[in-house]
Structure 1
């Protein structure tokens, strides 16, 4: 998704971030982990020493409450390494469903807690199981059950070098979400980009001949859903497709088959302004001028572009 990075370091912000995607190698700008072997998904394979380091972490505290992690300072791993601490007994975690979790993060260097936990802030986080942005969680959690607690140790590269961050994740709920917008069809205004849906609901866009790029944000509901209203600080789950004004698609969640979840506080302004006030179940056409997209960001592939998005709002919290 062009609104967030799908590889490299993907974070849910809470003080110190819970990092969910592995250190990338090569041109993605992350650390080059060792060993060089990787899983089929491109995630590097942990070494025996990595596995032993994570196995040595002691987890105390009852399920349903914040856990405490104890380990010797200086813990390092060379690749993302996971361990199921407790298997859940609740509903099965199915790819494509929304998963909500609590987590706490520790710094491997000093074994100290890194920021407040989501238990302390009463702010559980949700994501779509199978979303490629959460590629470290997906293979471990698919098929597990609500109540599962999992350790994830991950080497993170920053300006000071590589630091191992250890996260304890506990899944607290899961629910099925729709696969496409459902509601009352809305007749769009004349002259806008024309949206056509295939049998799966994936949109394609035709830009009318002579269409002039707008200087203001265009927000056109195509389907009016009957769900709750989205606010500017909502976290939404959505299918989306994005196009430039030549009609070329540059990215779409439909291509992976999995909707994406993200806070509207962390996306381009055109999304925040255009989707706030819409309702869950709606499909919305956005035509976003550069000032509300990526502007004149030097070197960005969408620099100075007017962008067209079709967004199916499947859930919001």
Structure 2
């Protein structure tokens, strides 16, 4: 049995051998990301096929939910993995596929120009190492992902930390809890402009002047772009309730206030 396609877009290639008498699970591709722990919030894409390659459920997602609520038990498996489950039927079998997306940026590391910097702890969480005065809106790519470019009207899954530029004080963060789903059109102008056109998988350091933020202080944001949310309906059998799909107050637009 084999599949092809990038993570998040699995396609059936072939099924060889006998169908097992009982349900079986296997890892088709082993990722190199963080291990999924019990009660963790994960980002995943799900699909299912017959053993002859007929699509039963188109790849859906990404879906944000608890690991235990995914169609396949993924606790103990690393992010970036593709997991398969064979479910024997009266005739043939159903094959369920789960692609576990990364919850941190993945790609080519780059040096950031200027004095502002990012420090990454042993837990993989990025923090602001040093800050500098914000002269104008600017985006530096600390890790360049290999995914599709983000559009200014996309809904994206991300992790972020927001700091006051002058003091370096942490204002808000999603780490280490879980990613969120953010509507770029509903967020502050500087963040929307700073993220737009960056590729999925990237880690950004965005310097935002007050007039393009919330109107009070200059801000610095560290953002990991994880995935673009698709508007397609998620099959009820595969849907998991997200733990957070609304943007935090700190990222909301102040237009009209």
TM range (shorter): 0.5 to 0.7
Say if 2:122 is the partner of 1:199: yes
Look up the match of 1:268: 188
- Tell me, in whole angstroms, the C-alpha distance in 2 between the residues paired with 1:175 and 1:97: 10
Which has the larger share of helix?
Answer: 1
Measured in 1, the distance between the counterparts of 2:153 and 2:61 equals 13
Match of 1:251 in 2: 172
Contact 2:62–2:227, Cα closer than 8 Å, also in 1? no
Quickly say closer, same or farther: Cα 1:143–1:218, change in 2 above 3 A.
same
Partner of 1:219: 139
In the TM superposition, residue 197 of structure 1 has moved relative to its aligned partner by 0.5
In the alignment of these two chains, the number of paired residues is 153
1:283 is aligned to: 203
Contact 1:127 1:261 in 2 (8 A): no
Q: Judging changes above 3 Å, is the alpha-carbon distance between structure 1 residues 144 and 255 closer, same or farther for their aligned structure 2 residues?
A: closer
Residues 112 and 141, structure 2, Cα contact 8 Å, conserved in 1: yes
CA distance in 2, matches of 1:294, 1:126: 30
Give 2:217's aligned residue.
305
Q: CA deviation at 1:242?
A: 1.1
Q: Are 1:181 and 2:105 counterparts? A: yes
Report how far residue 315 of structure 1 moved: 0.8
Residues 97 and 174 in structure 1, CA contact (< 8 A), matched pair in contact too: no
**Matched position secondary structure for 2:199:** coil
- Asked if the contact 1:97/1:175 (under 8 Å) is kept, the reply is no
User: RMSD of aligned C-alpha atoms?
Assistant: 2.7
What do residues 264-307 of structure 1 show as CA deviations (whole Å, max 9, x unaligned)?
A: 11211111101110001100001111111111xxxxxxxx1111
1:312, CA displacement in angstroms? 0.7
Partner of 2:233: none
Q: Distance in 2 between the 1:96 and 1:226 partners? A: 23
8 A Cα contact 2:43 2:103, kept in partner: no
Question: Per chain length, whose mean CA-contact separation is higher, i.e. which structure has more relative contact order (CA < 8 Å, sep 6+)?
Answer: 2
List, as ranges, runs of 4+ consecutive aligned residues in structure 1 with deviation greater than 4 Å.
Answer: 124-127
Distance of aligned partners of 1:290 and 1:248 in 2 relative to their CA distance in 1, 3 Å threshold: same
With over 3 angstroms needed to count, the CA separation of the structure-2 counterparts of 1:222 and 1:99, relative to structure 1, is closer
Report the CA distance between 1:181 and its aligned residue: 0.7
Specify the SS of the correspondent of 2:175.
helix
**Residue aligned with 1:272, SS:** helix
Q: Distance in 2 between matches of 1:234 and 1:314?
A: 13
Displacement of 1:96: 2.3
Aligned to 1:237: 157
TM-score relative to the length of structure 1: 0.43
Give the structure 2 partner of residue 26 of structure 1.
Answer: none
Q: Normalising to structure 2: TM-score of the pair?
A: 0.53
- Structure-2 separation of matches of 1:227 and 1:125: 16
Preserved contact between residue 181 and residue 225 of structure 1 (Cα < 8 Å) = yes
Cα deviation for residue 175 of structure 1 reads 4.8
Change (3 A) 1:280 1:212: same
